[in-house]
Every structure is written in C-alpha cells, then in structure tokens.
Structure 1
Amino acid sequence: MLRTPVASSNLRSVGYDPQTQTLEIEFISGGVYQYFNVPAGVYQGLMSAASHGKYFHQNIKNAYSYRRIG
C-alpha cells in the first residue's frame, strides 16, 4: 500500500485502501500497522487533523482491530 508522509512526532506515513477500508500507519518508532474496517471519513479526518498523533489516539487506536505488518 502506498503511504503518504505526514508531519508528526508520532506517525511517519499513512496509507488507505478504500476498497477494503484498511488504514495503514507507519510509526516513527518503526512499526507498521494495518487497521481494519476504518471508514473513509476517519482516514480523511486523520489526514486533515492539526495533530495526526492526537487524532490517532482519540479516534483510531482503541476503536479498530489491527495487526502489525512490519
């Protein structure tokens, strides 16, 4: 999945597949995680948020199932 770099102290890059509603996040710490059944609006909110890390913690972290892929 192609990811877009983001300006964040926590997240390095973010990708999204609208067909499968899979959100992929690469963290500064090096881990890459996929979050499942994430609506497009949540992805758009993440990308337009003033703080990507804060949005992630408030709206994604404990709300969706995930797996580490890298």
Structure 2
Amino acid sequence: MRREPFDSSAIVSAGYDPGTSTLEVEFTSGGVYCYRLVPGRVWRELRAAPSPGRYFAERIRDVYPEEWLPHAT
C-alpha cells in the first residue's frame, strides 16, 4: 500500500485502501500496523486532524481490528 508522509510526532506515514477499508500506519517507533474495517471518513479526518497522533489515539486505536506488519515498508 502506498503511504503518504504525515507531519506528526507519532505517525511517520499512513495510507488507505478504500476497496478493502484498510488503513496502514507507520509510527515513529518503527512499527507498521494495518487497521481493518476503517470507514473512508475516518481516513479523511485523520489526514485533516490538527494532531494526527491524538486523532489516532482517540478514534482508531482500540476501535478497529489491527494487525502488525513485521516487514512492511
């Protein structure tokens, strides 16, 4: 999945696949996670959020099923 860079202290980059409703997030810690069943609205709001890290923590983490991607780049 193609990710775009984020201006965030927590998120390096993120990408979204509307066909599968999948969000992929690369964190500054180096981890890359895939979130399933994410509505397009949530992706748009994450991209527009003044603080993407805060938006992620409040609206995505622990809300959508996640999967760690050990070798994603």
Q: TM-score range by the shorter chain?
A: over 0.9
Q: Runs of 5+ in structure 2 lacking a partner? A: none
Over the aligned positions, Cα root-mean-square deviation in angstroms equals 0.4
Please name the residue that 1:23 is paired with.
23
TM-score by length of 1: 0.98
C-alpha displacement of 1:14: 0.6
**AA of the residue aligned to 2:21:** Q
Q: Runs of 5+ in structure 1 lacking a partner? A: none
Please name the residue that 2:42 is paired with.
42
TM-score by length of 2: 0.94
Tell me the secondary structure at the aligned position of residue 30 of structure 1: coil
**AA of the residue aligned to 2:47:** M
Please name the residue that 1:32 is paired with.
32
